Structure 1
Amino acid sequence: MKLLSLACCIAFSLVLCVTAVRAAPAGSLITNLPGFEGRLPSQHHAGYVSINGKPTGKKNLFYYFVASQRNPSKDPVVLWLNGGPGCSSFDGFVYEHGPFNFQARQSKESLPKLQLNPYSWSKVSNMLYLDSPCGVGLSYSDNPKNYATGDFQTAADTHTFLLEWFELYPEFLSNPFYISGESYAGVYVPTLASTVAKGIKDGQEPVINFKGYLVGNGVADDFYDGNALVPFAFGMGLISSNIFEDCQKTCKGNYGNPTSKSCSENLNKVYEALSGLNPYDILEPCYQYTSAVKENKSESMSSSFMTQKRFTRISGRRWFVRALGRDGRVPLTSQAEATVHVPCINDDVATAWLNDESVRKAIHAAPTSVAGPWMICSDRVDYSGDVDSLIPYHKNLTSQGYRALIYSGDHDRVIPFTGTQAWTRSLGYKIVEQWRSWLSNKQVAGYLQAYDKNLTFLTIKGAGHMVPQYKPMEALDFYSRWLDGKPI
């Protein structure tokens, strides 16, 4: 009897395993990954969803889906988007909360070794990594005109992708669905969430079981984000009292868009004081590539995808230019030249792995000759911003009952927590949990303040711009508790 019961349990488990993604498109299942030895902890699927980019032809959007290691048939499906705009979501997959930890290569000829990540977000959720918009990462088009896009077009394209993806994977349609991302995904996430919510109201099929969204260190509002850096720098002890007081006096609270010469001069003192720091985490060293050191390139790279001229169309966010680079360039991306990289960030592991043709074949990605070389942030996307403030989007979504978790690594200078705390407070919602610490492994891991309308603002102590990269255990803690509706 016990043997029969055991056999039934085994058979039932096998059925669950097989049927977890039973409707997946042919050829999407990943059976092996170069650099990884052993059995994958859950099913992995990857490939392209082609959407129509009328009149300019198809846009081929690449996704990588990791089934939950806990209960894929019940756990939420969470879409992950990295920012930029123009950065690949494989940044999150490789360096943040993907299923593997990638070890450094032993030589230029070898591939990175992959080990299981004990703090992967796929421990508690189905993760859907998407390279968006078209032209980012492994996503591509035969027509370069499809690389011109903006906030609204990106949201529309990603919504179309989701409708197509759920058609391919209908067994996940009843799962709770969340949208998540970081940095410029502070724009992607609420604009996409609003598009999804409207589609549900309009009766678009398939009907997505959308429940809410998460944004980490995200762009939100020109005024609040633009005025965040100076108070942050002073609070962190990065500028003197004299510099701070001079900025207060001459800028009169408007640090993001200075209107006087004296204000600009004092702000330059701030940027000079911050020079040399890792902008993504002021506690971490700034990684220097040998070629950059030889050519005396540090934080401000001589070659950059986001020049001041191009960036002025992105919601006029000149403060973002200043926060990242002091020469009018936003050093968010590498160029085609192998010697130019994202400042302070070592992207060798991801670049080597994703540009290996055996890896591309294993994950069903187009070869380099078709999709182009993978770069952590793409130089071929021509991006125009359409939205100055995301606050109305957040207010509308939370008013409709969608859950929202807004989190910040508190040592990020790119999108300082001071601005995020200010704009969440500006919504005017009733505070249901006063500012308090939250714990991970019995230690204070950060602070939070909860509002009605299911809105929570949370900080992660000691983390930078990419929270799960710097604090993986703490990130999985707050993420899993929030998804499960448990107190953080």
Structure 2
Amino acid sequence: MKTLLPDLLLLLLLFLFLSPSSATTGRLILDFILPKIGSGTARPWNLSFLPDVSTSSKPGSKDSDLISALPGQPKGVVARQYSGYVPVDEKAGRFFFYYFTESKKTVNASEIPIFMWINGGPGCSSVGSGAFLEHGPLVVAPGGKAVAESSHAWNQFAHVLYVDSPVGTGFSYSDTPSDYQNYNDATVAADNLRFLVNWLARFPEYAARKVYLGGEGYAGNYIPQLAQLIHNRNRAGKYPAINLKGLILQNVILDADEDRWGFFDHLWSHGMLSQRMYDNIEKYCIKNSTRKGCIAVAQRTGRVVAPLYMFDLTAKICRLSEITTPRLPVDEYYECQEEDVAAYLGLPEVQRALHVNPSKAPKKWIQCNSNVAKAYGEITNSTLPILKNLLSNNISVLVYRQVHNTQLEE
């Protein structure tokens, strides 16, 4: 196993010891991965794939993206923040929204790395979840009208860049309607590379910095794929190299087949799945696998575990007064923080401060846009070959998951 670089270790330790567990909506394995496997739209990734990505002729100015202050922001927050849109396809009018916070660290400032974070879903906002819920410098306060300084912030050790990918996620948008109906791993990976290339053109002072990529859930596909494209682009030698050093993958899906059985193993080991149901999964899906029999038993199991809160089996209910509501989705009994974030990012004054284009903003900001997952086409069946290739080329990879999290984060 390759030794992790010091910067990567610092980020990991900060997250493990300071960061609270994150929770987002959705059921990635049951509702997204299993149908893809069943329909035959989970296929191997082409390790040599390299889209033609050049720098935008109009990369934009970072000065216009500088955030003076966010509504409800406490005094004394000194790290500069930026947000805005970066083009990924100017002809199609396709733009990714980002939020960037400079590091609080001042020692050896010229060596502070860039850390780029993408949430999964597909369709879950990195700005909403990663930045304002998990490890950004500011977290939304209860009630959704202000923000408070976070002790879990990753910008204590790095400059952190959060991007809403793909279009339809968070504030990212396209002027081409068909872009909202044609998602797949290859096109999203290409857009993620275009975003990073154009963002570095907007912030040229960081072009030579060490770059780390991170994400959770379905970003177990996004991040390795982006890393492979960066590696291929660097080897081609046609454009200035991106100094990619490592990956951090939290609660991610890496191999569609193996991860789906690990999901059921975890539930069974925590007493959430009966022995009979577990034995049926082993019988029809592993030992004597038949497509029809396996899908049937997986669907039955899915219905049984539907009332469980998959992201944290030990989580406390935050909506006790509404516990008798019969039709409230199970996630909503636990995800009050997510609702606060949605309320905050939906405020007009917050969107103005973040430089959101009011004519392109969604009518209602949502953490996870289920329409992205519904319109998503071909996925990669396993990113393990990508990780093996990256490791062989001296790019560090760190994979970890939370103990009581049965679901892959979005």
- Structure 2 residue corresponding to 1:133, chosen from 151, 166, 190: 166
Superposition TM-score, scaled by structure 1 size: 0.65
SS for the counterpart of 1:384 is: coil
Paired position in structure 1 for 2:395: 402
Partners of 2:306 and 2:350 in 1: CA distance: 38
Q: Say yes or no: does 1:259 pair with 2:291.
A: yes
Paired position in structure 1 for 2:80: 43
Q: Say yes or no: does 1:66 pair with 2:97.
A: no
Going from structure 1 to structure 2, the CA distance change for 1:187 and 1:252 (only over 3 Å counts) comes to closer
- Structure 1 residue corresponding to 2:207, chosen from 138, 153, 173: 173
The one-character-per-residue Cα deviations of 1:332-358 (angstroms, maximum 9, x if unpaired) are xxxxxxxxx878433221111111111
Deviation at 1:25, TM superposition (A): 2.2
1:248 aligned partner, one-letter code? E
1:65 aligned partner, one-letter code? F
SS for the counterpart of 1:137 is: coil
Contact 1:227 1:253 in 2 (8 A): no
Contact 2:83 2:354 in 1 (8 A): yes
Going from structure 1 to structure 2, the CA distance change for 1:398 and 1:42 (only over 3 Å counts) comes to same
Paired position in structure 2 for 1:83: 120
2:70 aligned partner, one-letter code? L
Deviation at 1:204, TM superposition (A): 4.0
- Structure 1 residue corresponding to 2:65, chosen from 17, 28, 33: 28
Structure 1 residues 449-468: aligned runs within 5 Å = 465=409
Q: Give 1 or 2: higher helix fraction.
A: 2
- Structure 2 residue corresponding to 1:352, chosen from 340, 343, 354: 343
Going from structure 1 to structure 2, the CA distance change for 1:228 and 1:42 (only over 3 Å counts) comes to same
SS for the counterpart of 1:27 is: helix
Paired position in structure 1 for 2:35: none
Paired position in structure 2 for 1:218: 252
Partners of 2:405 and 2:318 in 1: CA distance: 16
Structure 1 residues 273-422: aligned runs within 5 Å = 273-285=304-316, 294=325, 296-299=327-330, 344-346=334-336, 347-367=338-358, 369-372=359-362, 373-381=364-372, 382-415=375-408
Deviation at 1:379, TM superposition (A): 4.0
Paired position in structure 2 for 1:120: 153
Deviation at 1:112, TM superposition (A): 2.4
SS for the counterpart of 2:388 is: helix
Going from structure 1 to structure 2, the CA distance change for 1:288 and 1:272 (only over 3 Å counts) comes to farther
Identity rate, percent: 29
The one-character-per-residue Cα deviations of 1:147-190 (angstroms, maximum 9, x if unpaired) are 23211111111111111111111111221101100000011001
SS for the counterpart of 1:60 is: strand
Partners of 1:343 and 1:386 in 2: CA distance: 31
Contact 1:167 1:206 in 2 (8 A): no
SS for the counterpart of 1:224 is: helix
SS for the counterpart of 2:65 is: coil
Contact 1:163 1:206 in 2 (8 A): no
Deviation at 1:76, TM superposition (A): 1.1
Paired position in structure 2 for 1:101: 139
Going from structure 1 to structure 2, the CA distance change for 1:193 and 1:290 (only over 3 Å counts) comes to farther
Superposition TM-score, scaled by structure 2 size: 0.76
Stretches of structure 2 lacking an aligned partner (at least 5 in a row):
1-59
2:71 aligned partner, one-letter code? P
Partners of 1:292 and 1:177 in 2: CA distance: 45
Q: Say yes or no: does 1:184 pair with 2:218.
A: yes
Contact 1:53 1:146 in 2 (8 A): no
Q: Say yes or no: does 1:231 pair with 2:265.
A: yes
The one-character-per-residue Cα deviations of 1:378-407 (angstroms, maximum 9, x if unpaired) are 244332233111111111111111000011
Deviates more, 1:239-248 or 1:126-135: 239-248
Contact 1:151 1:187 in 2 (8 A): yes
Partners of 2:88 and 2:258 in 1: CA distance: 36
Going from structure 1 to structure 2, the CA distance change for 1:195 and 1:376 (only over 3 Å counts) comes to same
Contact 1:163 1:205 in 2 (8 A): no
Contact 1:166 1:206 in 2 (8 A): no
Partners of 2:110 and 2:98 in 1: CA distance: 19
Partners of 1:202 and 1:265 in 2: CA distance: 47
Paired position in structure 2 for 1:156: 190
